[in-house]
Amino acid sequence: MEDQHHRQITYLRLSIIDRCNLRCFYCTPVQELVKLQHADILRYEELLRLAQVAVAVGIRKIRVTGGEPLIRLGVESFLAALGAIPGLEEICLTSNGVLLADKAAALWEAGVRRLNISLDSLQPERFARITGRDQLARVLDGLRLATTQGFEPIKINCVVLRGINDDEVVDFARLSLDYPWHIRFLEFMPIGHPRRRWQEYYLPTAEIQARLTTLGSLQRLPTVANGGPAVRYRFAGAPGEIGFISPVSRHFCEACNRLRLTADGRLRPCLFQDDEVAIKGPLRAGASDATLRDLFRQAICLKPSRHHLDHSLTSPCRRTMARIGG
Ligand code: SF4
């Protein structure tokens, strides 16, 4: 379906849980963690019905996110059922990779082929400091196993934080010289954070990119329609890629094709705005598919032309990233 800014909205990010087995300080500060009750979270049959309704209004790609989606029991059979929805062309998954080694075969069986793995450090102690858990080895094992299994592409999303992990950007980029992984550097977004805190850690893409010249020159790769927000490059002869996702310094709103559904059943037109359309209530009150389609259309019509984030504005978001699903 086309939104009011003549953009085709074909992509749904579906958060199936707000809980996570990591505690990344910039995503889910421990002191702010108020877990949703089980009854508040959409049940799998509800998620599947809403996914079918989403396809009826033009969604063709669904990304399953969290919190951490792999900790939700039964996620493999849910993914298989999701992938079987007629008209849905693509399902993909975003995970922190801690359970990837255990679940790679089942995910493959369920029809998942594309993976985005969030990873912010290659140093065990620092990984533990950022995430609150000593799990780096499991994530790396999972990545290698998924590569052998044949998942492609495997994208590694690294949120670059000034003074925390920005000294590792070259090490991350070097992975693309050895593995067919797409290493993507994400600008830190002011979601759920006071401006001062955000500015302390924020590092613009231009600075990150400049540091990678020590590894050689980056060749720009062609933009792919609906290929996502990353600006893609490759080092000469490398099996992997480098990507930059710059929601603050180089926003990509003119090509926005996405809608979000939160784990507690709210349609979110834009990542950076808290305007949401409640859909769980009508769904549980027995709404027809036609009514649910209208709620999707309502959310799509609420999409802004762009976000208005720059250094002087504080994000109006009250939700934390774990409650949105990225
Ligand atoms: S900030 Fe909002 S409008 Fe811009 S790309 Fe993200 S979701 Fe779309």
> Residue 145: which of 100, 96, 93, 79 has the closest Cα?
100
Q: Which residue's CA is minimally distant from atom 8 of ligand 1?
A: 256
Q: Which residue's CA is minimally distant from atom 2 of ligand 1?
A: 270
pLDDT of residue 201: 93
161 sits in which H/E element:
none
Ligand 1 atom with the smallest distance to the CA of 304 is: 3
Q: Which residue's CA is minimally distant from atom 4 of ligand 1?
A: 253
How many angstroms separate the alpha carbon of residue 321 from the centre of ligand 1? Answer: 14
Fold (CATH) for 11-324: TIM Barrel (3.20.20)
Q: How many beta carbons lie within 10 A of that of residue 215, not counting itself?
A: 17
Q: Which residue's CA is minimally distant from atom 1 of ligand 1?
A: 307
Separation between Cα atoms, residue 120 and residue 156, nearest integer Å = 9
Q: Which residue's CA is minimally distant from atom 5 of ligand 1?
A: 253
Q: Is the pTM of this model over 0.85?
A: yes
Close Cβ partners of 210 (under 8 Å, ≥ 6 residues apart): none
| Domain extent listing, the chain | 11-324
Per-residue confidence of the chain (326 residues) as pLDDT tens digits?
999 999 999 999 999 999 999 999 888 655 555 778 899 999 999 999 999 999 999 999 999 999 999 999 999 999 999 999 999 999 999 999 999 999 999 999 999 999 999 999 999 999 999 999 999 999 999 999 999 999 999 999 999 999 999 999 999 999 999 999 999 999 999 886 667 778 899 999 999 999 999 999 999 999 877 678 999 999 999 999 999 999 999 988 999 999 999 999 999 999 999 899 999 999 999 999 999 999 999 999 999 999 877 555 555 677 788 888 88
306 lines ligand 1 (CB under 6 A): yes
How many angstroms separate the alpha carbon of residue 253 from the centre of ligand 1? Answer: 5
How many angstroms separate the alpha carbon of residue 230 from the centre of ligand 1? Answer: 13
CA distances from 108 to 79, 98, 127, 137 (A): 10, 16, 27, 21
How many angstroms separate the alpha carbon of residue 254 from the centre of ligand 1? Answer: 8
pLDDT of residue 73: 96
108 lines ligand 1 (CB under 6 A): no
How many angstroms separate the alpha carbon of residue 258 from the centre of ligand 1? Answer: 8
pLDDT of residue 308: 77
How many angstroms separate the alpha carbon of residue 272 from the centre of ligand 1? Answer: 7
Ligand 1 atom with the smallest distance to the CA of 260 is: 7
